[in-house]
Amino acid sequence: DAKTTQPPSMDCAEGRAANLPCNHSTISGNEYVYWYRQIHSQGPQYIIHGLKNNETNEMASLIITEDRKSSTLILPHATLRDTAVYYCIAYFNNAGNMLTFGGGTRLMVKP
Amino acid sequence: GAVVSQHPSRVICKSGTSVKIECRSLDFQATTMFWYRQFPKQSLMLMATSNEGSKATYEQGVEKDKFLINHASLTLSTLTVTSAHPEDSSFYICSARGAGMADTQYFGPGTRLTVL
């Protein structure tokens, strides 16, 4: 799986959009971009994933650049409960593969 | 989304004893389950991958005789830490992936193991 690079930490004001960047310049054509988050002392929570097109669900939006070398996870209206470590993972989701976690971005949402 | 549970959520044991952690997929059949370990302020590290009905595949550096994994059914996998020592104290997290779910892995809430 391709390596991803994320800033180690970010702050965001409550109620504002949180934009979390991820670089994956060596991503291959069949690798998806997955986002998970881990709130303190809990297991990771799946957020969203995409291949080429932008994706949106009830939790977040995922914007993938046309060359697929980077992406941005957007939490449209961050709340204090969104404070967590966010992991961006490039992953080829077939039966033989597994997720590999890097350092992630520690997002602190402040009142 | 799919739900994965773990039991117990936390356990304290004496050095030298064995501890079993259960991981269950509650609303889907998990063809593959994964076990991760996470030390304080570190990221998750994959320990092993298990497919239902077959032996687990362990990552390099993980002792298979110490961390026994059983995946006997499509909804249950167990991790047994044998002869636990204080250095085995960690946060153990399982995840599960089922066929027909776009291969997304869903994680359990984790088990905090403290070995005294």
Q: Identify which of A34, A36, A43 has the shortest CB distance to residue B110.
A: A43
For the record, the structure tokens of B18 come out as 């064995």
pLDDT tens, position by position, A26-74: 998 889 999 999 999 899 999 999 999 999 999 999 999 999 999 999 9
pLDDT tens, position by position, B11-67: 999 999 999 999 999 988 888 899 999 999 899 999 999 988 888 999 999 999 999
Q: Which residue has the tokens 């297991």?
A: A43
Nearest CA in chain A to B30: A95
Query: What pLDDT sits at residue A71?
Result: 97
Q: Which of B4, B107, B114 to mutate to test the interface with A (most CBs of A within 10 A)?
A: B107
Q: Please say whether the beta carbons of B82 and B107 come within 8 A.
A: no
- What separation in angstroms does the CA of B70 have from each of B27, B41, B75, B111? 20, 28, 11, 17
B13 touches A: beta carbon within 8 Å:
no
Q: Is A34 helix (H, G, I), strand (E, B) or coil?
A: strand
Q: Please say whether the beta carbons of B101 and B2 come within 8 A.
A: yes
Is the Cα dihedral B90, B55, A45, A8 positive or negative?
positive
Query: What pLDDT sits at residue A15?
Result: 97
Which one-letter DSSP state was computed for residue A31? P
Top-confidence residue, B102 or A16: A16
Q: Which residue has the tokens 């980077």?
A: A70
| pLDDT of A98 strictly over 60 | yes
| Rounded CA separation B110/B92 (Å) | 5
Mean pLDDT of A83-87: 97
Give B100's pLDDT tier (boundaries 50, 70, 90).
Answer: low
- Taking the CA of residue B61 and the nearest CA in chain A, the distance in Å comes to 16
| pLDDT of B101 strictly over 60 | no
A93 touches B: beta carbon within 8 Å:
yes
Q: Please say whether the beta carbons of A27 and A92 come within 8 A.
A: no
| Rounded CA separation B37/B62 (Å) | 11
| Beta-carbon separation of B105 and A99 below 8 A | yes
Chain A CB contacts of B91 under 8 Å are: 41
